[in-house]
Structure 1
């Protein structure tokens, strides 16, 4: 196959934008960007979930046409980066009693993995399985194959979400005549190309601060230990500022100009914030709206760290933050204040360890294509459908919604059923204990919301975190 007919396409579903990149991995490990596109998604994706299938389908058709026009090739497949509210990890244990000393084989380990894949309820979908460790007697092993024992205990971390998320994605991509090559979880794939081996090994927290959601992943000994998607993001700050009776676009401008995750010193002597209609708002009131929401987001990040059962003494790599909200003024100071972590790193532009080559000097200057590039870096499947105008059946997806061709990146994703999930979810949804401090008019404005964040990462939490969220 000629090089021109071999490329990978990654499409990332975000709450503010959908981004797509077609790229080719070179022998030296670099990624050559061949085409890219972006579309606003605020009107049909909310907190990482598709809420308007028709608009989503048309967006995919538009992006596919843009990429194909540049590539001069058709696209038959695409990797789809996903996330979204309600996605979280559930721990599961599988035990094998042998009755006598048995040498553990690959077959035994594989069968235990299959049993684990049957550990979610019928309305859930396991998007990825992360083996944690195997317990043999009083010892733990990463690889138990070859060890004799009469009992083997396997511990797994299943990343799950509502099955409707998968069904909606399948429907939209079928409508756009695209087969799904894989469904990598965006934030975990991104962490692979941003975090160093030493950070993952020594323990760290990876935080992706998006528009509608904030994703938190905790790593220790090179293994994912906890993951959750919080339904709060930078767009919530804009909505809070809209309480000043201003449009979202003006709220965004004011946030960028005056916003800070933490304000230091007295605000009394600050000049009022001037609005476009001539009104003025006390700086203290404006600052309170921004700071309170950012505090809430960071406190919920810290709550997820607590749920991981690891603390800063065990997470030596510290906190690594990326995403749009990571650009906010004093964000590092706010994380230090609310999480008590001293070591942290902020990746606001670029930051990928994989070299990227593009013919456009402006490509990815703001980092919006980082996740798509990370997916391409990990993917293998050729997404080319042939030359433009060629009649290829490869371009026509299967009529069966869930018959998705699985790639190595999605090899562990599977649907399943079991009974022990509710107990695990209850802990993930545990109410965070937000601190009450800095009493004032803007604190009272949000009274009753910060302390009542039950079901924060659950499927049912569409409105409970903040009535205007």
Structure 2
């Protein structure tokens, strides 16, 4: 088996969630989307609400998923790009600014803004996991790709930070260290899901992706091709299952089965006439069941989903992102597969809602091509996407503008 990831041309993604752990190994050929050549996934153990609760149990399932993917791919991986579902990630927006004199903005100002950004990152600490330059600003004009040559009083750079709690991040690093895997990058789940669930146009014009997992539901708002906001609420599909188990006095396994086979986010006129058999919890007699109308099941499911969407809607409203997030809501994640859930989301957010499956990668089997695998596919896309922010582009142009003497000449030109 190949040991060198670079020589083998492989990239690996590891999605660690409350209900499942999934590993995708893909090969990337120039000009082609990543092709998945190895897949391993199984039910999670040792995780709670997206965070690691038992390292030994979590290590067991991660190793099983990775080994299955390696066996299928015929290669052994040494590093992965991994998601972070817990840790309560928080979005922050910052602006670094520089006063201008009478001359136009040049390379010197761009470099000074970059230096300010780097100083801010050093002060931010280890809990900062994403830094996204959103665009330059000159006085009241914002979202500029390249302000060089322009005049103004102040030039600035808008930055989007994503912070997370330190402990879940360290636990994730410890887990993968015990699995002998290096971390290439840690990506919050909604960002990864958005990369595979949204089209390029949706990310550019504005869209809100909601990843509905088992332990958490997370949201990412995209605009101008960049993620501008992320948030997580500690409610997911597993909470719906527990509500059913409690409300109908049945086991968690039977509650999950009923949710999957008969559940819905909205009621219909025929629900009162459809009668469901519900096994009683703790009763070994399989013939001892309760009979309830389907409407009772749906009336347990619907309030929890409404609560989830209300929490997300309130956060979007609080940060003034309801309109920036575009006219579309895109649902993905395993819990988004419930019947009529897109219709409920449309009602709650008062805009069209759709369910998205992962795209942008090839080689996925039917069993792994659904919404539950959007995060894993998005991690592959994240690992290959080129840096496409205005600061990186400007700095790259500056570096290419000449060698040592060329840079020295530019400095004299800008300062004298």
TM-score range, shorter chain: 0.7 to 0.9
Aligned match of 1:372: 376
Q: Retained in 2: the 8 A contact 1:86–1:229?
A: yes
Alpha carbons of 1:364 and 1:216: their partners in 2 closer, same or farther (altered >3 Å)?
A: same
Q: Deviations over 1:62-107 (max 9, x none)?
A: 3333333334433221111223251121122323346665734331
Q: What aligned pairs does 1:274-353 form with structure 2 within 5 A after superposition?
A: 274-276=277-279, 277-312=288-323, 314-341=324-351, 343-347=352-356, 350-352=357-359
Question: In structure 2, which of residues 250, 255, 261 is the aligned counterpart of residue 257 of structure 1?
Answer: 261
Deviations 1:362-413 (A, max 9, x none): 45244443322332233259xxxxxxxxxxxxxxxxxxxxxxxxx979xx9x
Which structure would you say has the larger RCO, counting Cα contacts within 8 Å and 6 or more residues apart? 1
Q: Structure 1 residues 254, 159: CA separation in 2 closer, same or farther (over 3 Å shift)?
A: same
Match of 2:205 in 1: 202
Whole-angstrom distance in 2 between the partners of 1:115 and 1:206: 32
Matches within 5 A, 1:449-464: none
Match among 63, 66, 70 for residue 65 of structure 2? 63
Shift of 1:148: 4.7
Work out whether residues 112 and 154 of structure 1, in 8 Å CA contact, stay in contact via their aligned partners in 2: no
**Structure with the higher fraction of residues in helix conformation:** 2
Cα shift at 1:194 = 2.5
1:23 and 1:376 in contact (8 A); partners too: yes
Secondary structure at the aligned position of 1:37 is classed as strand
Q: Give the C-alpha shift of residue 302 in structure 1.
A: 1.6
Preserved contact between residue 212 and residue 236 of structure 2 (Cα < 8 Å): yes
Using structure 1 for the length normalisation, give the TM-score.
0.72
Seen in structure 2, the aligned counterparts of structure 1 residues 191 and 280 have a Cα distance that, compared at 3 Å, is same
What pairs with 1:435-450 in structure 2 (closer than 5 Å)? none
Q: 1:181 to 1:60 in 2, by over 3 A?
A: same
Find the residue that maps to 2:172 and give its secondary structure: helix
* Matches of 1:12 and 1:264, distance apart in 2: 36
Query: Partners in 2 of 1:75 and 1:249 — Cα distance?
Result: 34
Mapping of 1:71-86 within 5 angstroms? Answer: 71-86=73-88
Q: CA RMSD in A?
A: 2.9
Whether the 8 Å contact between 1:241 and 1:290 is mirrored in structure 2 is: yes
Aligned to 2:408: none
The match for 1:392 is none
Going from structure 1 to structure 2, the CA distance change for 1:73 and 1:327 (only over 3 Å counts) comes to closer
Aligned to 1:386: none
**Cα offset, 1:149, TM superposition:** 4.5
Matched, 1:246 2:250: yes
Which aligned runs of 4 or more in structure 1 are off by greater than 6 angstroms? 1-4
Cross-structure match for 2:11: 8
Q: Deviations over 1:166-221 (max 9, x none)?
A: 21111111111111122123321331233123222322211111111111112223
- For the residue of structure 2 that corresponds to 1:279, the secondary structure is strand
Q: Distance in 1 between matches of 2:38 and 2:318?
A: 41
Match of 2:160 among 154, 157, 161: 157
Q: Which runs of 5+ in 1 are unaligned?
A: 382-406, 413-469
Partner residue of 1:30 out of 29, 33, 42: 33
Judge conservation of contact 2:98–2:113 (CA < 8 Å) in 1: no
**Structure 2 residue runs without a partner (length 5+):** 280-287, 392-416
- Residue 3 of structure 1 deviates from its aligned partner by 9.1
Compare 225-234 and 87-96 and name the one that shifted more. Answer: 87-96
Give the match for residue 235 of structure 1.
238
Q: Give the alignment's TM-score, normalised by structure 2.
A: 0.81
> How many residue pairs are counted as aligned between the two chains?
374
- Mapped partners of 2:259, 2:209: distance in 1: 24
SS of match in other structure, 2:264: coil
- 158-167 vs 99-108, which moves further: 99-108
> Partners of 1:139 and 1:246 in 2: how far apart?
59
Gap change, CA 1:134 and 1:247, over 3 Å in 2: same
Q: Distance in 2 between matches of 1:217 and 1:133?
A: 18
